[in-house]
Amino acid sequence: MAKQTINIGSSANDGSGDPLRTAFDKVNDNFGELYAVSGAGSGQNIAISGQKIISENTNGNIQLDPNGTGEIVFLGNTSHGDSIKAQFGDADDLQIYHDGSNSYIVDAGTGNLNLQADNNINILNNAGTEFKAQFITNGAVNLFYDNSAKLATSAAGGTLTGVWVQTANIAADAITGAKIADDAIDSEHYAADSIDEEHIANDAVGSAELKTLSTLLIKNSSGSTLKTVHGAGA
């Protein structure tokens, strides 16, 4: 129904305007139109109170439905209270929320949670000043400790920086055809008694070389020296 406009005449009491009954009939028609659009009376009641748009129907939804390819455009921030979720998908498959203590991105439906970017993907601290992890497109994956890269992948394999502690045994044949770089094993990198028969299985290191510029001591389990090898710098 088109909007009903009351004819108020050209001047007061000139008799050219709508009769009082006709005028109020138009008012009723206009209010009836608003009433119908709001869904009132059909179990989908909508109320406007202050700055709120409220569904008065139990567990009722409020839908914003633009026409065709139109979009719902927000020109300001959106705010979600604690444990109020932003949900996506017909079955609320993706959920983003804060519960008052922690923040969550939850993939609660079918399929994978994919992060896609043509440029790099960075995980940073809140201030955006320190890296925690970095995923470079067609490049390295870097893992950081206190903004210092400790593990970096490369086309050749990867680089470990600093001291790495192994808590499990090295299985038989675990080191084959590999190289330990010059000066990689020294008193700073391996604690006393960290390499013993329990940690390197039989034949785990084959055709390898032990080099030293000082003195190499080979001891038994009781600590007695079995062999002393003097390096060129000793």
Using DSSP's 3-state secondary structure scheme, residue 35 falls into: helix
What pLDDT score does 119 carry? 94
Residue located via tokens 């062999």: 227
CA angle 208, 212, 218 (to 5 degrees): 75
Please give the radius of gyration of the chain, using alpha carbons only, rounded to the nearest integer.
Answer: 38
Q: How far apart are CA 10 and CA 12, in angstroms?
A: 7
Q: What is the pTM of this model?
A: 0.59
What SS3 class is residue 30? helix
Rounded to an integer, what distance in angstroms lies between the CA atom of residue 29 and that of residue 89? 39
**What is the C-alpha separation between 38 and 87, in angstroms, rounded?**
25
Q: Which tens digit of pLDDT belongs to each residue from 76-94?
A: 999 999 999 999 999 999 9
Mean pLDDT, residues 23-52: 77
pLDDT of residue 33: 83
Tell me the per-residue pLDDT of 90-128, one tens digit each, with 9 for 90 and over. Answer: 999 999 999 999 999 999 998 999 999 999 999 999 999
Structure-token pair, residue 121: 């993907």
